[in-house]
Amino acid sequence: MSVTAQNGPDARRVASTWREWTRLLGSLIAIAVLVAAFARGAWAHSLDEVDTMLQGDEKYFQQIDKPAPDFTLRAADGRIVRPVDLRGKVVVLHFIYTSCPDVCPLHAEKIAEIQKMVNATPMKDRVTFVTITTDPTRDTPDVLRDYGPAHGLDPVNWLFLTTIQGQPEDTTRKLAKAFGHKFTLTDDGYQMHGIVTHVIDKEGRWRANFYGLNFAPVNLVTLVNALTNNIERPHDEPDEGWLAKLKGLF
Protein backbone atom coordinates (compact mmCIF):
# COMPACT_ATOMS: atom_id res chain seq x y z
CA MET A 1 0.00 0.00 0.00
CA SER A 2 1.32 3.44 -0.88
CA VAL A 3 2.00 6.18 1.67
CA THR A 4 -0.74 8.23 0.02
CA ALA A 5 -3.31 5.48 0.58
CA GLN A 6 -2.21 4.95 4.16
CA ASN A 7 -2.68 8.62 4.98
CA GLY A 8 -5.58 9.39 2.67
CA PRO A 9 -9.20 10.33 3.47
CA ASP A 10 -10.25 6.72 4.09
CA ALA A 11 -7.51 6.18 6.66
CA ARG A 12 -8.41 9.43 8.42
CA ARG A 13 -12.09 8.44 8.53
CA VAL A 14 -11.18 5.06 10.01
CA ALA A 15 -8.97 6.71 12.62
CA SER A 16 -11.70 9.22 13.51
CA THR A 17 -14.32 6.48 13.79
CA TRP A 18 -12.01 4.42 15.97
CA ARG A 19 -11.45 7.37 18.34
CA GLU A 20 -15.21 7.94 18.61
CA TRP A 21 -15.85 4.27 19.39
CA THR A 22 -13.03 4.31 21.96
CA ARG A 23 -14.56 7.33 23.73
CA LEU A 24 -18.01 5.72 23.64
CA LEU A 25 -16.66 2.45 25.03
CA GLY A 26 -14.89 4.35 27.81
CA SER A 27 -18.13 6.12 28.72
CA LEU A 28 -20.10 2.87 28.73
CA ILE A 29 -17.53 1.19 30.94
CA ALA A 30 -17.63 4.14 33.37
CA ILE A 31 -21.43 3.97 33.52
CA ALA A 32 -21.34 0.20 34.04
CA VAL A 33 -18.91 0.61 36.94
CA LEU A 34 -21.13 3.27 38.52
CA VAL A 35 -24.27 1.16 38.09
CA ALA A 36 -22.63 -1.88 39.66
CA ALA A 37 -21.17 0.14 42.52
CA PHE A 38 -24.41 1.96 43.36
CA ALA A 39 -26.75 -1.00 43.00
CA ARG A 40 -27.11 -1.72 46.71
CA GLY A 41 -27.42 1.93 47.70
CA ALA A 42 -29.77 2.88 44.89
CA TRP A 43 -32.39 0.30 45.83
CA ALA A 44 -32.14 0.74 49.62
CA HIS A 45 -35.43 1.47 51.37
CA SER A 46 -34.09 4.07 53.80
CA LEU A 47 -31.11 6.30 54.37
CA ASP A 48 -30.39 4.23 57.48
CA GLU A 49 -29.74 1.23 55.23
CA VAL A 50 -27.29 3.24 53.14
CA ASP A 51 -25.59 4.53 56.30
CA THR A 52 -25.30 0.98 57.65
CA MET A 53 -23.83 -0.19 54.36
CA LEU A 54 -21.27 2.64 54.36
CA GLN A 55 -20.35 2.07 58.00
CA GLY A 56 -19.45 -1.48 57.02
CA ASP A 57 -17.68 -0.65 53.76
CA GLU A 58 -16.06 2.74 54.40
CA LYS A 59 -13.97 3.24 57.54
CA TYR A 60 -13.55 6.97 56.83
CA PHE A 61 -17.32 7.61 56.83
CA GLN A 62 -19.15 9.31 59.73
CA GLN A 63 -22.94 9.47 59.84
CA ILE A 64 -24.38 12.82 60.93
CA ASP A 65 -27.92 14.19 61.01
CA LYS A 66 -28.25 17.81 62.10
CA PRO A 67 -28.68 21.25 60.51
CA ALA A 68 -25.60 22.40 58.63
CA PRO A 69 -23.92 25.56 59.97
CA ASP A 70 -25.22 28.78 58.46
CA PHE A 71 -23.06 31.20 56.48
CA THR A 72 -23.16 34.18 54.16
CA LEU A 73 -20.22 34.21 51.74
CA ARG A 74 -19.25 35.46 48.30
CA ALA A 75 -18.54 33.44 45.17
CA ALA A 76 -15.68 34.22 42.79
CA ASP A 77 -18.13 35.97 40.44
CA GLY A 78 -19.35 38.26 43.24
CA ARG A 79 -22.63 36.49 44.03
CA ILE A 80 -23.69 36.26 47.66
CA VAL A 81 -24.25 32.62 48.61
CA ARG A 82 -26.15 31.31 51.63
CA PRO A 83 -27.21 27.74 52.44
CA VAL A 84 -30.80 28.65 51.59
CA ASP A 85 -29.62 29.41 48.03
CA LEU A 86 -28.42 25.81 47.74
CA ARG A 87 -31.66 24.20 48.92
CA GLY A 88 -32.95 21.59 46.52
CA LYS A 89 -29.41 20.42 45.73
CA VAL A 90 -27.21 17.93 47.54
CA VAL A 91 -24.04 19.80 48.54
CA VAL A 92 -20.53 18.34 48.73
CA LEU A 93 -18.52 20.90 50.72
CA HIS A 94 -14.91 21.21 51.82
CA PHE A 95 -12.40 23.80 53.09
CA ILE A 96 -8.96 24.57 51.64
CA TYR A 97 -6.69 27.54 50.97
CA THR A 98 -4.95 27.96 47.63
CA SER A 99 -1.40 28.55 48.90
CA CYS A 100 -1.49 25.27 50.82
CA PRO A 101 1.53 23.35 49.47
CA ASP A 102 0.50 19.77 50.10
CA VAL A 103 -2.89 18.29 51.02
CA CYS A 104 -5.23 21.03 49.72
CA PRO A 105 -4.43 20.43 46.03
CA LEU A 106 -4.87 16.70 46.61
CA HIS A 107 -8.20 17.33 48.32
CA ALA A 108 -9.37 19.51 45.42
CA GLU A 109 -8.40 16.78 42.97
CA LYS A 110 -10.27 14.19 45.05
CA ILE A 111 -13.39 16.38 44.87
CA ALA A 112 -12.83 16.74 41.11
CA GLU A 113 -12.76 12.95 40.79
CA ILE A 114 -16.07 12.72 42.66
CA GLN A 115 -17.54 15.52 40.55
CA LYS A 116 -16.63 13.69 37.34
CA MET A 117 -18.44 10.58 38.60
CA VAL A 118 -21.53 12.59 39.54
CA ASN A 119 -21.53 14.63 36.34
CA ALA A 120 -21.45 11.48 34.22
CA THR A 121 -25.02 10.83 35.43
CA PRO A 122 -28.28 12.81 35.65
CA MET A 123 -27.24 13.69 39.23
CA LYS A 124 -25.21 16.50 37.64
CA ASP A 125 -28.20 18.85 37.90
CA ARG A 126 -28.97 17.82 41.49
CA VAL A 127 -25.58 18.30 43.14
CA THR A 128 -23.47 21.38 43.90
CA PHE A 129 -19.81 21.21 44.90
CA VAL A 130 -18.66 23.96 47.26
CA THR A 131 -15.08 24.88 48.14
CA ILE A 132 -14.53 27.47 50.88
CA THR A 133 -11.20 29.22 51.35
CA THR A 134 -9.80 29.70 54.85
CA ASP A 135 -7.40 32.39 53.59
CA PRO A 136 -9.68 35.13 52.22
CA THR A 137 -6.94 37.77 52.27
CA ARG A 138 -4.79 36.05 49.66
CA ASP A 139 -7.50 34.10 47.85
CA THR A 140 -8.87 36.89 45.68
CA PRO A 141 -11.68 36.30 43.14
CA ASP A 142 -9.13 35.86 40.33
CA VAL A 143 -7.23 33.29 42.38
CA LEU A 144 -10.47 31.46 43.18
CA ARG A 145 -11.59 31.38 39.54
CA ASP A 146 -8.30 29.89 38.37
CA TYR A 147 -7.81 27.34 41.14
CA GLY A 148 -10.71 24.98 40.47
CA PRO A 149 -10.19 24.31 36.76
CA ALA A 150 -6.44 24.00 37.40
CA HIS A 151 -7.26 21.03 39.63
CA GLY A 152 -9.95 19.49 37.45
CA LEU A 153 -13.09 21.06 38.96
CA ASP A 154 -15.87 21.99 36.54
CA PRO A 155 -17.52 25.40 37.18
CA VAL A 156 -20.82 24.06 35.80
CA ASN A 157 -21.80 22.91 39.32
CA TRP A 158 -18.92 24.09 41.48
CA LEU A 159 -18.58 27.21 43.66
CA PHE A 160 -15.47 28.62 45.38
CA LEU A 161 -16.52 30.86 48.26
CA THR A 162 -14.73 33.52 50.28
CA THR A 163 -15.71 36.25 52.71
CA ILE A 164 -17.78 39.34 52.01
CA GLN A 165 -16.14 42.74 52.35
CA GLY A 166 -16.26 43.83 55.98
CA GLN A 167 -16.40 40.34 57.47
CA PRO A 168 -13.61 39.39 59.91
CA GLU A 169 -10.60 37.70 58.32
CA ASP A 170 -11.16 34.53 60.34
CA THR A 171 -14.83 34.13 59.32
CA THR A 172 -14.31 31.03 57.20
CA ARG A 173 -11.91 29.44 59.69
CA LYS A 174 -14.62 29.83 62.33
CA LEU A 175 -17.07 28.27 59.88
CA ALA A 176 -14.71 25.33 59.40
CA LYS A 177 -14.61 24.95 63.18
CA ALA A 178 -18.42 24.89 63.22
CA PHE A 179 -18.14 21.96 60.80
CA GLY A 180 -15.86 20.24 63.29
CA HIS A 181 -12.28 20.89 62.24
CA LYS A 182 -9.72 23.63 62.85
CA PHE A 183 -7.47 25.64 60.55
CA THR A 184 -4.73 27.07 62.77
CA LEU A 185 -2.40 29.80 61.49
CA THR A 186 1.33 29.13 61.78
CA ASP A 187 4.22 31.59 62.01
CA ASP A 188 5.31 30.88 58.43
CA GLY A 189 1.95 31.85 56.94
CA TYR A 190 0.57 28.37 56.47
CA GLN A 191 -2.30 26.66 58.28
CA MET A 192 -2.41 23.40 60.19
CA HIS A 193 -5.61 21.50 59.46
CA GLY A 194 -7.28 18.19 58.82
CA ILE A 195 -9.06 17.00 55.69
CA VAL A 196 -12.81 16.47 55.79
CA THR A 197 -15.45 16.33 53.05
CA HIS A 198 -18.98 17.19 54.18
CA VAL A 199 -22.25 16.08 52.58
CA ILE A 200 -25.40 18.18 53.05
CA ASP A 201 -28.83 17.09 51.86
CA LYS A 202 -31.38 19.03 49.82
CA GLU A 203 -33.09 20.38 52.95
CA GLY A 204 -29.84 21.76 54.37
CA ARG A 205 -29.17 18.97 56.87
CA TRP A 206 -25.58 17.90 57.41
CA ARG A 207 -25.63 14.17 56.67
CA ALA A 208 -22.06 12.89 56.65
CA ASN A 209 -18.33 13.46 56.88
CA PHE A 210 -15.71 11.60 54.87
CA TYR A 211 -12.29 11.93 56.48
CA GLY A 212 -8.91 12.23 54.80
CA LEU A 213 -8.00 11.33 51.23
CA ASN A 214 -8.22 7.55 51.36
CA PHE A 215 -11.99 7.05 51.26
CA ALA A 216 -13.42 5.46 48.12
CA PRO A 217 -15.05 8.17 45.96
CA VAL A 218 -17.77 5.75 44.89
CA ASN A 219 -18.91 5.45 48.52
CA LEU A 220 -19.47 9.20 48.79
CA VAL A 221 -21.28 9.18 45.45
CA THR A 222 -23.45 6.29 46.67
CA LEU A 223 -24.62 8.48 49.56
CA VAL A 224 -25.18 11.44 47.22
CA ASN A 225 -27.24 9.20 44.95
CA ALA A 226 -29.40 8.11 47.89
CA LEU A 227 -29.95 11.72 48.95
CA THR A 228 -30.88 12.85 45.44
CA ASN A 229 -33.45 10.03 45.27
CA ASN A 230 -35.19 10.92 48.56
CA ILE A 231 -35.09 7.27 49.63
CA GLU A 232 -35.58 8.18 53.30
CA ARG A 233 -39.23 9.05 52.56
CA PRO A 234 -40.83 5.67 51.78
CA HIS A 235 -44.36 7.02 52.25
CA ASP A 236 -43.99 9.93 49.84
CA GLU A 237 -44.37 9.70 46.09
CA PRO A 238 -40.95 8.32 45.08
CA ASP A 239 -38.62 10.48 43.07
CA GLU A 240 -37.42 8.35 40.16
CA GLY A 241 -33.66 8.14 40.51
CA TRP A 242 -31.11 8.34 37.73
CA LEU A 243 -30.39 4.61 38.07
CA ALA A 244 -34.04 3.76 37.37
CA LYS A 245 -34.04 6.10 34.37
CA LEU A 246 -30.85 4.50 33.09
CA LYS A 247 -32.36 1.03 33.51
CA GLY A 248 -35.37 2.15 31.49
CA LEU A 249 -33.16 2.84 28.49
CA PHE A 250 -32.40 -0.87 28.06
Residue 182 DSSP code: -
SS3 28: helix
**Whole-angstrom Cα distance, residue 154 to residue 218?**
18
Q: What is the pLDDT of residue 85?
A: 97
Interhelix angle 9-42/217-228, nearest 10 degrees: 70
**Which residues touch 111 (CB under 8 Å, ≥6 apart)?**
92, 94, 129, 131, 153, 197
Q: Give the pLDDT score at 49.
A: 87
pLDDT in tens, 15-25: 556 656 655 55
Amino acid 204: pLDDT: 97
Task: Give the largest Cα separation in the chain, rounded.
Answer: 73
Helix (H, G, I), strand (E, B) or coil at 93: strand
CA 121, CA 30: separation in Å to the nearest integer?
Answer: 10
**Average of pLDDT values for 21-38?**
53
Task: Identify the bridge partners of residue 90 per DSSP, sorted by sequence position.
Answer: 127
pLDDT tens, position by position, 69-91: 999 999 999 999 999 999 999 99
| Residue 250, CA distances (Å) to 20, 75, 198, 246 in order | 22, 41, 34, 8
User: In one letter, which amino acid is 76?
Assistant: A
Q: Tell me what pLDDT residue 3 has.
A: 43
pTM of the model: 0.78
Query: Which homologous superfamily is 36-230+241-248 in?
Result: Glutaredoxin (3.40.30.10)
Helix H segments across the chain? 3-6, 9-42, 47-57, 103-119, 141-150, 171-178, 217-228, 242-248
104: annotated binding-site residue? yes
193 is in an annotated binding site: yes
What pLDDT, in 10s, does the model give residues 186-213?
A: 999 899 999 999 999 999 999 999 999 9
Contact at 8 Å (CB) between 202 and 89?
yes
Residue 14 pLDDT > 80: no
b/e 169-188 (16+ beta carbons within 10 angstroms → b): eebbbebbeebeeebeeeee
Assess contact for 59 and 228: CB atoms under 8 A.
no
Whether 163 and 169 have beta carbons less than 8 Å apart is answered as yes
Tell me if 239 sits within 8 A of 137, measured CB to CB.
no
Q: How many CB atoms lie within 10 A of CB 37?
A: 18
Q: Please list, in sequence order, all residues whose beta carbon lies within 8 angstroms of the beta carbon of residue 79, skipping any fewer than 6 positions away.
A: none
pLDDT at 47: 80
Known binding residue 100? Answer is: yes
pLDDT score, position 132: 98
